[in-house]
Chain A
Amino acid sequence: MLPKKRFSVRRLPGFAVIAIACFTLLYAPIMILVVYSFNAGSSIAVWEGFSWQWYSAAWDNEMVQSATFNSLVIAIQASLYATVLATMAALGTTRTKPYRGQTAIYTMINQPLMVPEIVTAVALLICFAVIKQLTDYQGLMYLVIAHTAFCIPFAYLPIRARLEGMDRALETAAADLYATPWRSFRQVTLPLMWPGILAGSMLAFVISLDDVVITEFVKSAGQDTLPTYMLGQLRRVITPEMHAISTVLLVVSVVIVSVIFILNRSKN
Chain B
Amino acid sequence: MGSTVATSVIDVSKTFGQDKDQVTALDRVSVDIRENEFFTLLGPSGCGKTTLLRLIAGFEHPSGGKILLHGEEISHLPPFKRPVNTVFQSYALFPHITVSENIGFGLSMQDKPANEIKETVAAMLKLVQMESLADRRTDQISGGQQQRVALARALAPHPKVLLLDEPLSALDYKLRKEMQIELKTLQHETGITFIFVTHDQEEALTMSDRVAVMNQGRILQVGTPKEIYDHPAERFVADFIGDTNFLAADLNQSDNGRMMVTLPGGRTVETTQSDFPGAGKVNITIRPEQASLINGPSAADLSGTINNVVYSGNDTHVHVMLESDEPFVVRVQNRGAQSAQWESGQAVGIKLEPGSVQVLQD
Contact = CB atoms under 8 A, between A and B. Distances in A.
Interface of A: 167, 169-170, 172-180, 183-184, 187-188, 191-192, 268
B109 A167 contact: no
A167 B95 CA distance: 10
A177 B157 contact: yes
A192 B109 contact: no
Interface string B47-80: 0000000000111000000000000000000111
Contacts of A172: 59, 79, 88, 92
B105 A192 contact: no
Given A177-B106, A192-B96, A167 B90 contact: yes
**Central interface residue in A169, A174, A176, A179, by most chain B CB within 10 Å:** A176
Contact of A175 (B80, B96, B154): B80
B111 to A, nearest CB: 9
Interface of B: 57-59, 78-81, 84-86, 88, 90, 92-96, 105-106, 109-110, 139, 153-154, 157
8 contacts: A172-B79, A173-B86, A174-B94, A174-B109, A176-B59, A176-B84, A179-B109, A188-B94
Contacts of B95: 170, 192
Given A178-B109, A183-B109, A173 B88 contact: yes
Nearest to B83: A178
Nearest to B163: A176
B150 to A, nearest CB: 9
A162 to B, nearest CB: 13
Contacts of B59: 172, 175-176
B154 to A, nearest CB: 8
Nearest to A175: B79
Given A167-B92, A192-B95, A192-B96, A176 B86 contact: yes
Contacts of B79: 172, 175-176
B92 A178 contact: no
A23 to B, nearest CB: 36
A178 B90 contact: no
A179 B88 contact: no
Nearest to A177: B106
A108 B281 CA distance: 67
